Structure 1
Amino acid sequence: MTMQDSGPTPEIGQIVQCTKGRDQGQYFVIIELIDDRFVRIADGDKRKIDRAKKKNMNHLELVDYIAEEVKSSFIETGRVTNGKLRYAITNFLEKHSNLLKEGD
């Protein structure tokens, strides 16, 4: 039996957008890969790192953007601060708000 490739693979530090649930439409950062179906996400604000949410990959839309500062923090120290998560999401939204406006 072959494993079916279900699109892009999630990575730590990757920005995702929730497509289901109470957090729908909000952006988060993947902070842990649990297995091939679940990840843990946090945004450093409403959803802090110590209360990270376990999410089914089917309820997330992967954004083609990896927050390098989050990824390198995990590589160096094995953890990341809430401030870094907030910074990563703010940075992403600032860079991509131009793209969203141009699409009108």
Structure 2
Amino acid sequence: METVPQIGQIVKVLRGKGEGEYAVVIGIIDARTVLIADGGKRRFDRPKKKNVLHLELQPFISPEVAGSMSETGRVTNAKLRYAIQKYMQAKGE
């Protein structure tokens, strides 16, 4: 299933050190590469560059993160943690 990641979208990391963890897309570099952060270990000011093939896009886009990014071009780490937490609760994990 080929989908395009969007700012504020929750992703699950499939490859690499953070495998199995959730993060939020905070930047799109090109068709294959995105920037992700989780507000915890991986903060907004030091996002991780990831190949989208190594991510599982979740069917959830955080309106808080997307709104903040489009208004100011940045988002707080607390907001990233909140978005992931909210998604996990909605999913029942």
CA distance in 2, matches of 1:31, 1:71: 8
% identical aligned pairs: 52
The alignment's C-alpha RMSD in Å is 1.0
Partner SS for 1:51: coil
Partner SS for 1:41: strand
1:57 to partner: Cα distance: 0.6
Q: After alignment, is 74-83 or 8-17 more displaced?
A: 74-83
Which amino acid in the other structure matches residue 10 of structure 2?
Answer: I
The runs of 5 or more residues in structure 2 that have no matched partner are none
Which structure is larger by alpha-carbon Rg, 1 or 2?
1
The runs of at least 4 consecutive aligned structure 1 residues that moved more than 6 Å come to: none
Q: Which has the higher contact order (CA 8 A, sep 6+)?
A: 2
The runs of 5 or more residues in structure 1 that have no matched partner are 1-5
Partner SS for 1:35: coil
TM-score by length of 1: 0.86
Higher helix share: 1
Give CA-to-partner distance per residue, 1:12-66, whole Å, 9 cap, x none: 0000000011111000000000000100000000100111000001100000100
